[in-house]
């Protein structure tokens, strides 16, 4: 709705609610002086409105929404007489610079992005106020030093204001506050120590406070504080009393570029679930022991001076995501294999990493891209055997990437290939037992050879395979494993995908085309010169029509995609049809046959070469004949 004008409303004396939200062209609201029963009016987004309609007689009004009425200049003084008013939204009214006295029953007050310089003293006495939003009130620099009486306040946002301090007296009465947002207050340096008096506080956000250097001592336990965000602050250390944040579940210290160490009392934060130290570039050591029984997410990426990870992974039984990218670690403690629930391990750009220990067998994502010194990768056959019966469920994707890991030795490459085969077979078996609704497996690493267990393989990017009868109708059919070797050029490595088209045929007539490509995209920030990489992946091949299941031949065409553009740079390819049983003499037989197109090209080349040879032969004979004839003529003259 975008009305430019509204008809007469003076006769609608019994109207209780008016909603003109989104009328950007509305300049004026008709006379409402006789509408004494109005309880709510919504003018959100009426950007052309230059003044508030006359509501002076609407003494029963409870809610006024003027958000984004950018043309408004002032708030009528009679607003202070609205004794029933509980909701007032002036957010984004950027020209409003003063306020009248605020009615005493106010519960929700939004003044975000207004030009208000001084808040009326009545605000600090609003005992029923629940939410106060002062986001981006740049003109406010100081608050009243008198005690705040907002006992019901549970949410206060001072985000992106120019405040330098928060009065200590303010914390004494805000005992019910749950969320305190001080993010991006560039001038804020510290908080008073009695912040621990806020016993109901659950969220404290100081992210982006670029002048904030000292986190206060926590003199008493804060059992309810669950979320603490100090991202981008200038703190150099945390007080040892940080251990009194006994209820903390989320702690964000990312981009704290001055942080040098963590206190030993960190072990007391045993309810911590999410912890980030990303880009703490001066951090060199972690506490020697952690006991985070609830920790699920640990991010230490880009801590460029960090060289060692404590061997205490057995204290992280719930860990699911671990990011160590762009650190200086050389090894990963072997205890990581005890983290049975680990789903994602990110090691991208760990230039000094030389070895990988045995990893949890249910690990879904491993990214070792650009680990250029990585030489050894360990695999435990025992662990794999034990994991064969591990229950996979739901939707599952397993992607392991060793892009540009050129230092891998022969054993490491073999272990990686064996692990890929194990994961493909486990996923295929889970499908067969109907444990997973959907599942993908993909593994990329340097190499130019197709593993021998791919029963059908050939040079080039395409192959034809003669199919046995009932090849997909067999209840033992588990899907297809695919493999492609490609020459990756430097620019291609920025965003690379692999695709394969399977064309099913009968008597050389195409029946159906099935896309067997991967959804994964492999990326690197440091593209190299042309290199060979091999990708193995798995496809269940469940979307086949009944007619296609009777096909007797299939052609496979492999290619890569870079930013959606097709590249025909696959130099070797392989296919293996997977079955649950009958892997011996009873296994279905698949035979690679010459592609008709390739055979035609070969025949054409033979004919062309034959023609060229005959032409050369003809020219040679003609040349020799021209030499013999003059000799015969000169010989006759001599006889005469």
Tell me the pLDDT tens digit for each residue of 145-200. 677 888 899 999 999 999 988 877 777 778 889 999 999 999 999 998 889 889 99
Q: Rounded CA gap, 544 and 619, in Å?
A: 58
Q: What are the φ and ψ backbone dihedral angles of 52, each rounded to 5 degrees?
A: -75, 135
CB distance 213 to 238 below 8 Å: no
User: What is the predicted pLDDT for the residue at 315?
Assistant: 86
Q: pLDDT tier at 457 (50, 70, 90 boundaries)? A: very high
CB distance 402 to 439 below 8 Å: no
Q: Rounded CA gap, 164 and 177, in Å?
A: 21
Mean pLDDT, range 201-210, rounded to an integer: 97
Mean pLDDT, range 454-469, rounded to an integer: 92
Instruction: Summarize pLDDT for 82-132 with one digit per residue, the tens.
Output: 999 999 999 999 999 999 999 999 999 999 999 998 888 889 889 999 999
User: What is the predicted pLDDT for the residue at 381?
Assistant: 66
Higher pLDDT, 273 or 548: 273
Q: pLDDT tier at 384 (50, 70, 90 boundaries)? A: low
In angstroms, what CA-CA distances link 572 with 399, 458, 550, 554? 21, 6, 28, 17
Higher pLDDT, 473 or 213: 213
User: What is the predicted pLDDT for the residue at 375?
Assistant: 97
Higher pLDDT, 77 or 6: 77
Mean pLDDT, range 10-15, rounded to an integer: 75
Higher pLDDT, 380 or 566: 566
User: What is the predicted pLDDT for the residue at 30?
Assistant: 82
In our burial notation (b when 16+ CB lie closer than 10 A, e otherwise), range 479-511 reads bbbbbbbbebbeebbeebbbbbebbbbeeeeeb
How high does pLDDT run on average in the chain? Answer: 86
257 CB-near residues (< 8 Å, 6+ apart): 234, 279, 280, 281, 282
In angstroms, what CA-CA distances link 59 with 32, 110, 120? 12, 21, 22
Q: What are the φ and ψ backbone dihedral angles of 319, each rounded to 5 degrees?
A: -65, 130
Supply the pTM of this predicted model. Answer: 0.84
Mean pLDDT, range 472-493, rounded to an integer: 80
Instruction: Summarize pLDDT for 250-300 with one digit per residue, the tens.
Output: 999 999 999 999 998 888 898 999 999 999 999 998 887 777 889 999 999
CA dihedral 406, 411, 412, 417 (to 10 degrees): 110
Q: Rounded CA gap, 30 and 55, in Å?
A: 11
User: What is the predicted pLDDT for the residue at 38?
Assistant: 93
Q: pLDDT tier at 567 (50, 70, 90 boundaries)? A: confident
Averaging pLDDT over each range in 417-421, 476-480, 580-584, which range is the top one? 417-421
- Give the residue from 27, 43, 29, 33 showing the smallest Cα distance to 10: 33
Q: Is 127 left (phi over 0), alpha (psi -120 to 50) or beta?
A: alpha
CA dihedral 323, 328, 334, 335 (to 10 degrees): -50
Q: pLDDT tier at 610 (50, 70, 90 boundaries)? A: low
User: What is the predicted pLDDT for the residue at 319?
Assistant: 95
Mean pLDDT, range 486-513, rounded to an integer: 81
% of the chain surpassing 70 pLDDT: 85
% of the chain surpassing 90 pLDDT: 57
User: What is the predicted pLDDT for the residue at 149?
Assistant: 84
User: What is the predicted pLDDT for the residue at 637?
Assistant: 41
Neighbouring CB atoms inside 10 A of 575's CB total 25
Q: pLDDT tier at 632 (50, 70, 90 boundaries)? A: very low
Confidence check: pLDDT of 53 > 50? yes
DSSP 8-class letter at 467: P
Q: Rounded CA gap, 480 and 461, in Å?
A: 17
């Amino acid at each position: 709705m975008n009305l430019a004008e509204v008809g007469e409303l003076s006769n609608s004396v019994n109207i209780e609610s008016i909603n003109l939200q989104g009328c950007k062209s509305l300049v004026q609201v008709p006379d409402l002086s006789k509408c004494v029963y109005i309880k709510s009016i919504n003018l959100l987004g009426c950007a052309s409105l230059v003044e508030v309609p006359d509501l002076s007689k609407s003494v029963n009004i409870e809610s006024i929404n003027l958000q984004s009425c950018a043309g408004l200049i002032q708030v009528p003084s009679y607003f202070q007489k609205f004794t029933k008013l509980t909701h007032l939204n002036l957010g984004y009214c950027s020209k409003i610079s003063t306020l009248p006295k605020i009615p005493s029953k106010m519960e929700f007050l939004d003044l975000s992005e207004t030009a208000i310089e001084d808040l009326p003293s009545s605000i600090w006495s609003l005992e029923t106020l629940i939410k106060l939003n002062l986001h981006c009130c740049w003109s406010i620099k100081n608050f009243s030093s008198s005690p705040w009486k907002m006992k019901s306040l549970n949410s206060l946002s001072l985000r992106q204001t120019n405040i330098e301090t928060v009065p200590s007296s303010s914390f004494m009465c805000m005992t019910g506050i749950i969320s305190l947002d001080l993010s991006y207050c560039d001038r804020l340096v510290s908080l008073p120590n009695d912040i621990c008096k806020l016993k109901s506080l659950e969220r404290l956000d100081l992210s982006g406070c670029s002048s904030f250097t000292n986190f206060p001592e926590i003199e008493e336990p804060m059992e309810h504080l669950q979320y603490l965000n100090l991202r981008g602050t200038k703190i150099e250390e945390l007080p040892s009393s940080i251990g009194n944040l006994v209820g903390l579940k989320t702690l964000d210290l990312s981009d704290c570029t001055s942080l040098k160490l963590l206190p030993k009392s960190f072990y007391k934060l045993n309810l911590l679930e999410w912890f980030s130290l990303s880009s703490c570039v001066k951090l060199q050591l972690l506490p020697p022991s952690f006991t985070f029984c609830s920790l699920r997410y640990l991010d230490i990426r880009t801590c460029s001076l960090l060289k060692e990870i404590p061997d205490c992974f057995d204290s992280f039984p719930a860990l699911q995501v671990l990011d160590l990218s762009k650190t200086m670690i050389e090894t990963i403690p072997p205890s990581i294999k005890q983290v049975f629930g680990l789903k994602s391990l990110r090691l991208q750009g760990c230039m000094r990493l030389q070895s990988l220990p045995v990893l949890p067998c249910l690990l879904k994502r491993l990214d070792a891209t650009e680990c250029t010194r990585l030489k050894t990768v360990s695999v435990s056959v025992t662990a794999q055997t034990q994991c064969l019966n591990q229950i996979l469920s739901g939707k599952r994707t397993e992607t392991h990437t060793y892009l540009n890991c050129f230092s891998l030795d022969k054993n490491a490459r073999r272990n990686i290939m064996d692990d890929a085969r194990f994961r493909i077979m486990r996923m295929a078996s889970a499908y067969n037992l109907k444990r997973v609704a959907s599942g993908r497996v993909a593994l990329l690493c340097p190499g130019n050879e197709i593993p021998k267990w791919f029963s059908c393989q050939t040079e080039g990017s395409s192959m034809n395979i003669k199919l046995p009868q009932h090849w997909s109708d067999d209840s033992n059919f588990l899907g297809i494993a695919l493999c492609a070797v490609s020459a990756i050029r430097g620019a291609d490595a920025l965003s690379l995908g692999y695709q394969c088209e399977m064309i099913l045929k009968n008597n050389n007539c195409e029946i159906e085309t099935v896309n067997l490509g991967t959804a994964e995209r492999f990326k690197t920030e440091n593209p190299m010169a042309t290199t060979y990489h091999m990708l193995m992946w798995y496809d269940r091949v469940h979307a086949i029509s009944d007619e296609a299941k009777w096909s007797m031949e299939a052609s496979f065409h492999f290619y890569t995609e870079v930013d959606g553009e097709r590249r025909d740079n696959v130099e070797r390819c392989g296919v293996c049809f997977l079955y649950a049983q009958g892997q011996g003499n009873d296994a279905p037989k698949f035979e690679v046959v010459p592609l008709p197109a390739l055979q035609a090209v070969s025949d054409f080349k033979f004919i062309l070469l034959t023609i060229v040879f005959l032409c050369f032969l003809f020219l040679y004979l003609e040349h020799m004949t021209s030499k013999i004839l003059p000799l015969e003529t000169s010989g006759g003259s001599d006889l005469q």
